Amino acid sequence: MSLDTTALNQAMTHFDEHDTVWLFGYGSLIYKAGFDYLERRPAFIHDYARRFWQGSHDHRGTPEAPGRVATLIEAPGHVCHGMGYLVSPAVFQALDVREKNGYLREVIPLHFDDGSTAEGLVYRATADNAAWLGEAPEADIAAHIADAQGPSGPNRDYLLHLAESLRTLGDDDAHVFAIERHLRLLLAGEASR
């Protein structure tokens, strides 16, 4: 798949007739919206897990030295917590550009704490995209993140903001918190040198 998924996403017609759409955010979209929304509330999805397996060439790294950012992998039985945003479909024009480094829009059922559900949209990067980095030990992912940076800032800020947001949501994401622990040890080591 080409590195830039903007055109693929803009060809999606699924929500064309809708005035509003629920968007599920699980990475930077939890802590940095950057678009107008009508409503924002915690949401979760079934059968996916958040993983720092996606490369970032345009936000938290560069093509020569990609950063590592979150995507969703299929994980039957798993629940992934994040943030739901009720938006006008017009916001996808800009979001398609923000998420262009391998993410594709997918239709997904969102669940809310009050028991209600809604069909919504998520940006997900799968293993066949050109920026995919894949699985690695969490300590290695932390070391990678500690060194990377890109036009949107240091890769470490992405991880630390996400971990903080998940804590606020009351989520216990073992993968993210393990990387955070390794990263904080590395940063403490850097500071004491």
**Helices 155-169 and 138-147 sit at what angle, rounded to 10 degrees?**
130
| Contact residue for ligand SIN among 5, 9, 15, 26 (CB under 6 A) | 26
Q: Does 104 bind ligand SIN (CB under 6 A)?
A: no
Asked whether 141 and 163 are in contact (CB, 8 A), the reply is: no
| Contact residue for ligand SIN among 21, 43, 45, 69 (CB under 6 A) | 69
Q: Does 150 bind ligand SIN (CB under 6 A)?
A: no
- The size of the interface with ligand SIN (CB under 6 A), counted in residues, is 9
**Helices 155-169 and 174-191 sit at what angle, rounded to 10 degrees?**
130
Asked whether 143 and 14 are in contact (CB, 8 A), the reply is: no
| Known active-site residue 64 | no
Binding window for ligand SIN (CB under 6 A); candidates: 9-17, 21-29, 36-44, 167-175: 21-29
Q: Does 101 bind ligand SIN (CB under 6 A)?
A: no
For tokens 């968007």, the residue is 23
Rg (CA), the chain: 16
Catalytic residues: 99
Binding-site ranges for ligand SIN (CB under 6 A):
25-29, 69-70, 99, 123
